[in-house]
Amino acid sequence: MYEADIASVLISEDDIRRRTSELAEEVAARYPEGGPDGDLLLIGVLKGAIFFMTDFARALPIPAQMEFMAVSSYGSSTSSSGVVRILKDLDKDIEGRHVLIVEDIIDSGLTLSWLIRNLETRNPASLDVVTLLRKPEATKVEIDVEYIGFDIPNEFVVGYGLDYAERYRDLPYIGTLDPSVYGG
Ligand code: PRP
Ligand code: MN
Ligand code: MG
């Protein structure tokens, strides 16, 4: 599937699974089990975080509730515009809740720093972030991220939720995109 467009497998399905359960154990050790309103609240950032969100939630050994927001900064380009739009907001109040944002990737950091500021105004009891991937070289904004799956080189990656022009999200692993695909 998509073979001709993928230059290399950067992170395999096995590596993703292994690291996801490590992160889940780490997170679970830090949050108490709270009962109905005290449960950890995962906020998945659509669409990129879909697969990480569902796998992470199932790897977590403590109860967690799930909500989703959809924001977009990239459009169909390969670099971040810095303009973040809410495409779908939360349906629920997060005041007093322990919130963990679940992201697929921090690239420039613009999406997440915007989202953190936005969610902080809603007065959660705590607010942290778990991201599967981070590109250290591309980070333009300093953000304090507690849980990071993998630091990756500054290459365009797709798969496991990450897209290029809405394609490749359904690849089960993280791969680098052949530059011929985006005319590089
Ligand atoms: C991608 C990715 C992150 C964000 C990271 O989302 O899923 O949410 O960009 O980039 P940044 O750190 O430079 O802001 P995108 O806006 O492409 O929307 P999508 O999740 O629907 O693909
Ligand atoms: Mn995204
Ligand atoms: Mg995208």
The tokens for 132 are 């599967």
Tell me which of 111, 141, 157 to substitute to probe ligand 1's pocket, judged by most ligand atoms within 8 Å of the beta carbon.
Answer: 111
Q: How far apart are the C-alpha atoms of 55 and 16, rounded to whole Å? A: 9
Decide if pLDDT at 102 tops 70: yes
55 belongs to the catalytic site: no
Q: Which ligand is nearest to the CA of 104?
A: 1
C-alpha 134 to ligand 3 mean position (Å)? 14
Burial 63-80 (b: 16+ CB within 10 A, else e): ebeeebbebbbbeeeeeb
Which atom, in ligand 1's list, is nearest to the CA of 166?
Answer: 22
In a domain, 27, yes or no: yes
The tokens for 61 are 């050994």
pLDDT of 73: 76
C-alpha 43 to ligand 2 mean position (Å)? 12
Decide if pLDDT at 74 tops 70: no
Decide if pLDDT at 34 tops 90: no
In a domain, 5, yes or no: no
CATH code (residue 104) = 3.40.50.2020
CB-CB contact of 168 with 2 (8 Å): yes
Catalytic one of 104, 107, 163, 170: 107
pLDDT of 124: 97
Question: Which of 140, 83, 75 shows the shortest CA–CA distance to 106?
Answer: 140
Decide if pLDDT at 75 tops 60: no
pLDDT of 77: 57
Cβ count near 97 (within 10 Å):
23
Q: Which residues of 16-159 form beta strands (DSSP E)?
A: 40-46, 64-72, 85-88, 98-106, 126-134, 147-151, 157-158
**DSSP H/E element including 17:** helix 13-30
Nearest Cα residue to atom 22 of ligand 1: 48
- Range from 33-37, 92-96, 156-160 carrying the lowest mean pLDDT: 33-37
Percent of the chain with pLDDT over 90: 79
pLDDT of 32: 78
Decide if pLDDT at 78 tops 70: no
pTM across the whole model = 0.94
In a domain, 181, yes or no: no
How many domains does the chain divide into?
A: 1
Question: Which residues constitute the domain of residue 92?
Answer: 12-155
Q: How confident is the model at residue 10 (pLDDT cuts 50, 70, 90)?
A: very high
Ligand 1 site residues (CB inside 6 A) read 45-48, 72-74, 80, 103-112, 163
Cβ count near 49 (within 10 Å):
27
Which atom, in ligand 1's list, is nearest to the CA of 138?
Answer: 13
Task: Kindly report the average pLDDT of the chain as a whole number.
Answer: 92
In a domain, 160, yes or no: no
pLDDT of 80: 59
